[in-house]
Amino acid sequence: MKKAMTSKERFDLTVNHQQPDRMVVDFGSTSVTGIHVQSVENLRRYYGLESKPVRVTDPYQMLGEVDQELIEIMGIDVVGAKGRKTSFGFYNQEPLKEYLTPWGQKVLVPEGFQTTKDENEDVLIYPEGDTSSTPSGRMPKNGYFFDAIIRQKPLDEDQLDPQDNLEEYGLVSDTDLDYWKETTRKARATGKAVIAGLGGTALGDIAHIPGIKLKNPKGIRDITEWYMSILMRPDYIKAIFERQTEIALENFTRLHEAIGDNLDAVYICGTDFGTQDSTFCAPEQFDDLWLPYYRKINDWVHTHTSWKTFKHSCGAVEPFMSRFIAAGFDIINPIQVSAKGMDPELLKKNYGKDLVFWGGGIDTQKTLPYSTPDKVREEVLRLCTVFARDGGFVFNTVHNIQANVPVENIVAIVDAIHEFNH
- For residue range 119-149, list pLDDT tens digits in order: 999 999 999 999 999 999 999 999 999 999 9
pLDDT at residue 130, as a whole number: 98
pTM value > 0.85: yes
- Asked if residues 414 and 75 have their Cβ atoms less than 8 Å apart, the reply is yes
Distance CA 322, CA 350 (A): 9
Distance CA 333, CA 378 (A): 22
Tens digit of pLDDT for each residue in 85-109? 999 999 999 999 999 999 999 999 9
Reduced 3-state DSSP string for 225-257: HHHHHHHHCHHHHHHHHHHHHHHHHHHHHHHHH
pLDDT at residue 3, as a whole number: 80
Q: Are strands 96-100 and 106-110 parallel, antiparallel or unpaired?
A: antiparallel
Q: Options 3.30.420.40, 3.20.20.210, 3.90.1300.10, 3.20.20.140; which CATH number does 7-89+152-420 get?
A: 3.20.20.210
Query: What does the radius of gyration of the chain's CA atoms come to, in whole angstroms?
Result: 21
Cα dihedral 397/402/405/411 (nearest 10): 40
Identify the segments of the chain with pLDDT beneath 70: 1-2
pLDDT at residue 1, as a whole number: 56
Element at 395 (helix H, strand E): strand 393-395
Distance CA 292, CA 297 (A): 9
Domain ranges of the chain: 7-89+152-420
pLDDT at residue 333, as a whole number: 98
Element at 266 (helix H, strand E): strand 265-269
Angle at 213 between CA 111 and CA 204, to 5 degrees: 145
Distance CA 124, CA 8 (A): 41
Strand arrangement of the beta sheet that strand 147-148 belongs to:
115-117, 123-125, 137-139, 147-148
Distance CA 351, CA 349 (A): 6
Contacts of 284 (CB under 8 A, 6+ apart): none
Let me know how many helices (H) and strands (E) the chain has, helices first: 13, 16
Strands (E), 27-122: 54-58, 63-64, 78-81, 96-100, 106-110, 115-117
